[in-house]
Structure 1
Amino acid sequence: MHILSIKPEPPGLGGVIARFDIALSDELRLFGLRLTERAAGGHAVYAANTMGRRSATFSPNLVEQISRAALAALKELKPHDRNAD
């Protein structure tokens, strides 16, 4: 599992922390995922919508793995990377 790119979101967007792309394996990449903070604690990961419908869902275990990887990638960003695409 590898975060391909990640971009922090400004505060106030419904709990969205960042948008990112991920390679779950050499065979599978997902683009436009959202990392959010849950009101009850923890994090949620949402795939991009297609025509108003979910394009993918993730098990709680996979959400935990993906969110840990995304949060680690966010910590690695330098201040000037915040606006990088």
Structure 2
Amino acid sequence: MRITEIQRTTPHPGKAVRALATFDLEFSNDVRLFGLRLMEAPDGRLLVYAPSANGGRRLATFSPALSDKIAELAATELERAQNRHGAYSRN
């Protein structure tokens, strides 16, 4: 499992859960997911949201354990990308 593309998102003030980045995930050689969102809850937890379609319905969901693993992978990759292009902190 690896992040193939990640891009920091412009934060929207006043939102309880804030978007940190959008990213693409190669889950395996057979499965790739595009347009996932890395989010941060008010308590600092990282969340992963799949894109929506079909009238706002989510295209995928993940177990809590898998979601945590994907979120941590995306956060690490986002930090690497930001370090290559300038300092970034989740705080």
TM tier, shorter chain? 0.7 to 0.9
Q: Corresponding residue for 1:75?
A: 79
Return the TM-score normalized by structure 1.
0.86
Between the aligned partners of 1:60 and 1:41, the Cα distance in structure 2 is: 16
Number of aligned residues: 80
1:54 aligns with 2:58: yes
1:23 aligns with 2:26: yes
Unaligned runs of 5+ residues in structure 1 are 81-85
Q: CA RMSD in A?
A: 1.4
1:36 aligns with 2:36: no
Between the aligned partners of 1:41 and 1:6, the Cα distance in structure 2 is: 20
Deviating 4+ runs (over 4 angstroms): none
Percent identity, aligned pairs only? Answer: 40
Instruction: Look up the SS of the partner of 1:63 in the other structure.
Output: helix
Instruction: Look up the SS of the partner of 1:18 in the other structure.
Output: strand
Instruction: Look up the SS of the partner of 1:66 in the other structure.
Output: helix
Unaligned runs of 5+ residues in structure 2 are 87-91
Return the TM-score normalized by structure 2.
0.81
